[in-house]
Amino acid sequence: MCQLLGMNCNTPTDLTFSFSGFAQRGGRTDHHADGWGIAFFEGLGLRHFVDNQPACESPVAELIRRYPIKSRNVIAHIRKATQGHVALENCHPFVRELWGRYWVFAHNGDLKDFNPRLHANFRPVGNTDSERAFCFIMQELAKSHAGVPSVEELTLTLRELARPIARHGNFNFMLSNGVALWAYCSSNLWYVERKHPFAHAKLADEDLSIDFARNTTPDDKVAVVVTEPLTVNEAWTKMEGGQLKVFADGEAHR
Amino acid sequence: MCQLLGMNCNTPTDLTFSFSGFAQRGGRTDHHADGWGIAFFEGLGLRHFVDNQPACESPVAELIRRYPIKSRNVIAHIRKATQGHVALENCHPFVRELWGRYWVFAHNGDLKDFNPRLHANFRPVGNTDSERAFCFIMQELAKSHAGVPSVEELTLTLRELARPIARHGNFNFMLSNGVALWAYCSSNLWYVERKHPFAHAKLADEDLSIDFARNTTPDDKVAVVVTEPLTVNEAWTKMEGGQLKVFADGEAHR
């Protein structure tokens, strides 16, 4: 299964990712061996890393493991191919520009017979259902607003857009424009709002873990959204099917 | 001054970049310390690395140094900021999607009073003259063709588009869609067409060098375009001011 991980913080937060589970398995099980990617915003700028090699063999994964990421919005994805062959252009997260901002999207699930009419300026480069859905969302956002709308307005529009797509199958997705993180739950997404002091967070299947820096301040807030909850004793909230939540400044909007 | 480097090959070619010059200077001179970036196509997919740290301190530069790149089209850029502050969103090369293909652009020079009307779907995220020019080119390409045109048609359109922009200043640029590499010379660009067996190539100022793999075949062809010619004894051709050349399958189109 694909793993999604999203993070939204109220201040650029130092953290490192590690892929210990991948490395241990050595890719020999071929589970989650179909590519992966991470995108993180630094101000308006974006760092985007994708790889169609298993993370255990990837020099890019090695970089991410050692790289001190300082970001307010991060989306990561580990892919098990369901549609589209294993190729770089099919690795999530995907990126497009709209209204002079970068938009990042990753999807976990499988859409059947989703072939929307893409008549505007967002076209898939690869051949996944996920990138088609992203292009459709961007096209409809561009039609719905003349410029960058508020987080609240975007949430309303995304809520309307997500539901008809989700009728085509399993559509857990995350979207960020560097200001907020939107998470739509079709079947399986959990989130937690964490505050200072941060502990080490480890995904249940050990594929991916996050270390927060020790020098967080009492004002720091971080929201983390994942496919499967972290194992540590924190108050994880399971999202409901059909629910869209937006995270800004490190916490869920009510 | 900014350094541009473009490469176009007839077969995915193994090569590695290194930043030995940066490392030697240790970034202490602050020359070329304003960010850098590399994008390389792998099929339809794209790897895009940008950094606003000096290459000597950048973990991403360290990755590139060790990463075995296999690509047919590469654009690299080392930036000395003339317009726009030193920020990730201002680092070249820039990327946009059009017609279901990624497009990569890097610019060397300085445009004065270039403020085209950007009414369509390509807007700058940062605040450089270069990204404005790229967005304008993408907007006009989108208006000129209904879908991906042939390399020859694109060359004609780009030739028309480049000239009025170049009246605003120094406009050496490179553009690639993963199929071909276009290079426009305003003041300073050189190219060479190399064939098997490839030697080690080193830029004159030692900032950036390329090692080609030893196992090239007699059919391999590579075109390299740079701001300053490599120092080795090869037949570098200086491009003329106002000249647009297109490189496909490892050689310049006549």
Q: Specify the DSSP element, H or E, that contains B12.
A: strand B3-18
pLDDT digits (tens, 9 = 90+) for A143-162: 999 899 999 999 999 999 99
Q: By mean pLDDT, which of A21-35, A200-214, B90-104 is the weakest?
A: A21-35
Contact criterion met (CB < 8 Å) for A44 and B126: yes
Contact criterion met (CB < 8 Å) for B91 and A46: no
Shortest alpha-carbon distance between residue B102 and chain A (Å): 7
pLDDT digits (tens, 9 = 90+) for B9-40: 998 876 666 555 444 433 444 454 568 889 99
Interface of B with A in 68-97 (CB under 8 A): 87-91, 95-97
**Cross-chain CB nearest to B60 (options A63, A87, A99):** A63
pLDDT for B70:
84
CA–CA dist B166, B172 (Å, integer)? 8
Question: How many other C-beta atoms are found inside a 10 Å radius of the C-beta of residue B113?
Answer: 7
Query: Is 60 exceeded by the pLDDT of residue B243?
Result: yes
Q: By mean pLDDT, which of A118-127, B1-10, B168-177 is the weakest?
A: B1-10
Contact criterion met (CB < 8 Å) for A121 and B120: yes
B2 is catalytic: yes
A63/B contact by beta carbon, under 8 A: yes
Task: Return the number of CB contacts < 8 Å for A and B.
Answer: 88
Average pLDDT of the residues of chain A:
84
Chain A CA closest to residue B103: A125
Contact criterion met (CB < 8 Å) for A52 and B45: yes
B45/A contact by beta carbon, under 8 A: yes
Structure tokens at A47: 């760092």
Overall average pLDDT of the A155-179 stretch = 97
Overall average pLDDT of the B238-246 stretch = 97
Q: By mean pLDDT, which of A49-58, A209-218, B121-130 is the weakest?
A: A209-218
Among B199, B152, B201, residue whose Cα is nearest residue B179: B152
B234/A contact by beta carbon, under 8 A: no
Overall average pLDDT of the A155-173 stretch = 97
**Cross-chain CB nearest to A101 (options B50, B91, B125):** B125
Chain A residues touching residue B125 (CB < 8 angstroms): 44-45, 97, 100-102
Query: Is 80 exceeded by the pLDDT of residue B115?
Result: yes
Chain A CA closest to residue B67: A59
Chain B residues touching residue A100 (CB < 8 angstroms): 123-125
Among A107, A254, A132, A71, residue whose Cα is nearest residue A183: A107
Contact criterion met (CB < 8 Å) for A123 and B142: no
pLDDT for B140:
96
Contact criterion met (CB < 8 Å) for A88 and B43: yes
A231/B contact by beta carbon, under 8 A: no
pLDDT for B165:
97
Split at pLDDT 50, 70, 90, the class of A215 is low
Average pLDDT of the residues of chain B:
84
CA–CA dist A113, B219 (Å, integer)? 44
Q: Taking a C-beta distance cutoff of 8 angstroms, is the pair A53, B133 a contact?
A: no
**Cross-chain CB nearest to A100 (options B44, B91, B123):** B123
pLDDT for A220:
86
Split at pLDDT 50, 70, 90, the class of A202 is low
Interface predicted TM-score (ipTM): 0.89
